[in-house]
Amino acid sequence: MECKRTSLPGVKESRRALNFEYACRKGGLMLLVIIILAALAGLFSVGYFSSSEKTTSAHSVKLEYERFGRLQTEFTVKITAPVHSSGQYIFRLGGDFNRRFETGNIWPQPDRMYSRDGALYLAYDAAPHPVDFSVWLKITPTKPGEAVSTLWVNGGPAIRFWQFIYP
């Protein structure tokens, strides 16, 4: 049985245009599936590819953060430092940190917090803990793009970390 081709009056079909539309629909579905899987895996925010952990060369200070985030969406940064004999801790966040992020809640609250030379300082005077001392910061990105920040604890070795913020 032969398929009879009928056309509507006033409509001029183009086989090439129909084939292009079919290819776009087929490729678009695959692209959509890839984007959904990447989002579920954390390529755009919290997830397997986004969650990251860095330590100093001596493996003393640990930083847990998200590599990918969205503009104006709050996320958590956790800094863990070993027990310090004096009980004093000074956390310094420099680089792009002050220019690209707004700091919200900080737990525990620092005894002093100030900004100098483009860096944010969090000072804890008497924090005697039998285990490692941790600080949680809730930060909100204010500018899209790549941000490279640096963390120092008590003047020790630096941890450089990058984050990409989607608009």
Range of the domain at 30: 12-41
Q: 37 and 79: one domain? A: no
Instruction: Report which DSSP code applies to 37.
Output: H
Run of H or E including 64:
strand 62-66
pLDDT of amino acid 167:
87
Q: 74 and 155: one domain? A: yes
90 inside domain: yes
Return the CATH number at 134. 2.60.40.680
152 inside domain: yes
6 inside domain: no
| 39 — pLDDT class (breaks 50, 70, 90) | confident
Judged against a pLDDT cut of 80, whether residue 149 lies above it is answered with: yes
2 inside domain: no
Mean pLDDT confidence for 131-138: 91
Domain count, the chain: 2
Distance CA(161)–CA(69), nearest Å, equals 14
Q: Which of residues 57 and 153 earns the better pLDDT score?
A: 153
107-130 pLDDT per residue, tens: 999 999 999 999 999 999 876 667
Q: How many CB atoms lie within 10 A of CB 5?
A: 6
For 34, how many CA atoms within 13 A lie in the half-sphere containing its CB? 6
